[in-house]
Amino acid sequence: MNASELFIRTPNRRRFLRSAGILGGMAATFPAWADTYIDLDLPGGPDKRELSTAFPQKAQMIVQRTRPPLLETPWDIYDHSVFTPNDRFFVRWHWAVIPEHVDVTEFKLTVRGHVNQVVSLSLADLLAMPRVEVVAICQCSGNSRGFFQPRVAGAQWQNGAMGNAQWTGVRLRDVLDRAGVKAGAVAVRSSGLDDPVVPAAPKVMKPLDIDHARDGEVMLAFQMNGEQLPLLNGFPVRLIVPGWYGDYWIKMLSDIEVLNAPDQNWFEAVGYRVPDTPHASVKPGETGFKTVAGVTVRGIALGGNSGVAQVELSADGGQSWQKTTLDRDEGTYGFRQWSTQITAPPSGSLTLQVRCTNTKGEVQPAEPNWNGGGFMRNVIERVQLKVA
């Protein structure tokens, strides 16, 4: 997975952003708590979404759903820094039964299963362990689902179901060592304090292969950008899986189970399946498978499970590409800012395209992928501008 997004800095920035399709929506009657609304300009609609500050520890967010809360980061936030502020970091929960308060004095994290001894760790226990930090992007695998054509079921995100933060916590490997992993272990499955709304529904659980879980990069975070985690982003402890989509980043982590057989829980075996094809792409229905000279253009890029090697921009429909200037590298799994200057025509239309190449040599594809789940969208970004 690699991706790039662009911003245009002009005297009339809002007009440019609207013409570029960077605002979005849902046609509805807006509730009293909505501050205002925004047009997301999604090809399959609906186009209007509420903007609200009604959620705890959150500034104004795009409301995709109220319960369970699905809150999208407004696009202009990414133009401020490579780090996404905690109060503007996107929120995505699967089930509506979410604790509204967690007593840290009573909180316990259990490590059990194929281990030498069951361990119950308090938050104080975790805080006393050796700390590590990592800069990493958390991105919903359904980010940009609203642009899939034909339209697919699921949250109709624009591009704001992602965020980059500096995470502080402890290695999962060190936590597992407290319990002692037995020979024959094949996976580590995690779950949190959230529960389904009806007993028959599956609990959210996700496994990692044992070697991945113990690689030293996977961690349990209790801080985000130097502050405690917001409740809606997983307080008091969240699993951090750098380079992997957010469905593996279990929030309000409370249970770690070591398995000696492959996991077959619903969220692994059914809920998040993607085609085993190049770029996770299949055909719909397929089964079995010139403005003012010197305009500054800038944006952000991500390399998936590797770093950003280069970002290129084209203003002639992809016939030629110019390298952009990359800003400071904050880490393999974080956003990388980029910028360049372009010469635009005095009037008319202008299409800009931007593509990212990661350190593995993987280049964003020219054609968008498609799958029935609306997952893993990746395509060269295009912005249509009207110059006047």
Cross-sheet strand order for the sheet of 3-9: 3-9, 295-302, 336-342, 325-326
Q: Where does 107-214 have alpha helices with state H?
A: 123-127, 172-179, 210-213
For residue range 241-257, what is the model confidence (pLDDT) as tens digits? 999 999 999 999 999 99
pTM strictly above 0.85 = no
Q: Is 126 left (phi over 0), alpha (psi -120 to 50) or beta?
A: alpha
- Decide if pLDDT at 307 tops 50: yes
Burial 209-227 (b: 16+ CB within 10 A, else e): ebebbbeebbbbbbbbbee
> Which one, of 149, 157, 146, lies nearest residue 45 by Cα?
146
Instruction: Tell me the two tokens of residue 161.
Output: 């179901």
Give percent of the chain above pLDDT 90.
Answer: 73
Instruction: With CA atoms as reference, report the closest residue to 55 among 25, 88, 26, 24.
Output: 88
The 10s digit of each residue's pLDDT in 5-26 is 655 443 332 222 222 222 222 2
Q: What pLDDT, in 10s, does the model give residues 347-371?
A: 678 899 999 999 999 999 999 999 9
* Predicted pLDDT at 340: 86
Structure-token pair, residue 361: 């040599």
Which stretch of DSSP H or E encloses residue 188? strand 187-192
Sign of the dihedral defined by the CA atoms of residues 298, 46, 143, 85, in that order: positive
Gap between the Cα atoms of 283 and 262, Å rounded: 30
Instruction: Summarize pLDDT for 65-111 with one digit per residue, the tens.
Output: 999 999 999 999 999 999 999 999 999 999 999 999 999 999 999 99
Angle at 146 between CA 312 and CA 308, to 5 degrees: 25
Helix intervals (H) in the chain: 13-19, 123-127, 172-179, 210-213, 266-269
Question: What pLDDT does residue 8 have?
Answer: 45
- Ranking 153-157, 194-198, 269-273 by mean pLDDT, the lowest is 269-273
Given a contact cutoff of 8 angstroms between Cβ atoms, the answer to whether 259 and 188 are in contact is yes
Q: What is the mean pLDDT of the chain?
A: 88
